[in-house]
Structure 1
């Protein structure tokens, strides 16, 4: 086993960086979805949702930066083209969504996909003894689970 400067197994670290790049592509797609629904939301709930979607895209933008910096910390290069994002994204793509429930469902569906990717990374980072990635995934998961719960409550649905 070859250790890198962080004291982590080089091979496992490279594998984690690839997974983080997949997460990065999905977060960039999620971010664009949020921008779109923020801009296009209409109806009686406009004021509340417009502000909420801005809050979510601001948070997503921050997380994109954290993920990219973690990829760099692990010695890899973050994906950074729209082509890379499209090829690697699994979150649904929302286009021209202006109806409140469709917009909130897009957020829930996107977060559900992100959570799957993050849980897989969390498992791998635990096995690799990569506390930096592990901690980041744990924090993301905790926040996103709460957001899913709140969005589902807004939709009057259960988890």
Structure 2
């Protein structure tokens, strides 16, 4: 028995969701690597504070990468798995040689803006497809990231 028959989802709608989730996966992978770079290369007065915050952030992003890939598989699709593919599919661009705290935090905020926008699109598609699993996942991410964005925006003053 096919996976989608078991969970009761439409094949065409699930394929469309899988494509959008792969786009999200690509954005998360680039976002993750950028934050890893910030963690490794941060310098300045806020080193200790930001070094810890960036580690917390990239660990959270890595968990989401795995959850998104598993959701794509649940929908009967195949997750992207090559960085060359991620770079082409991502709206978030690679960031190199950034080590100043405010620039790092600003880039993280820009990245959250990108993934939140895309997650809202996916949530709407999931609702149209009666895909509660994907809709709930996106809702959880959005709620959490809106709060994080507020805190990081407050940090920047």
TM class by shorter chain equals over 0.9
More helix by share: 2
| SS in structure 1 of the partner of residue 43 of structure 2 | coil
Separation in structure 2 between the aligned mates of residue 120 and residue 5 of structure 1, nearest angstrom? 25
Separation in structure 1 between the aligned mates of residue 6 and residue 84 of structure 2, nearest angstrom? 31
Q: How many residues align?
A: 154
Q: Which residue of 1 aligns with 2:125?
A: 124
Instruction: Report deviation, 1:106.
Output: 0.5
**Residues 92-112 of structure 1: CA distance to partner in whole angstroms, max 9, x if unpaired?**
321111001000000000000
Normalised TM-score (structure 2): 0.96
Q: Structure 1 stretches (4+) deviating beyond 2 angstroms?
A: none
Q: Unaligned stretches of 5+ in structure 1?
A: none
Separation in structure 2 between the aligned mates of residue 74 and residue 28 of structure 1, nearest angstrom? 20
Q: Which residue of 2 aligns with 1:91?
A: 92
Q: Is the 8 A contact 1:92 1:106 kept in 2?
A: no
Q: Which residue of 1 aligns with 2:72?
A: 71
Separation in structure 1 between the aligned mates of residue 83 and residue 25 of structure 2, nearest angstrom? 11
Q: Over aligned residues, Cα RMSD in angstroms?
A: 0.8
Q: Which residue of 1 aligns with 2:47?
A: 46
**Residues 40-70 of structure 1: CA distance to partner in whole angstroms, max 9, x if unpaired?**
1000000000000000000000000000000
Separation in structure 1 between the aligned mates of residue 112 and residue 5 of structure 2, nearest angstrom? 32
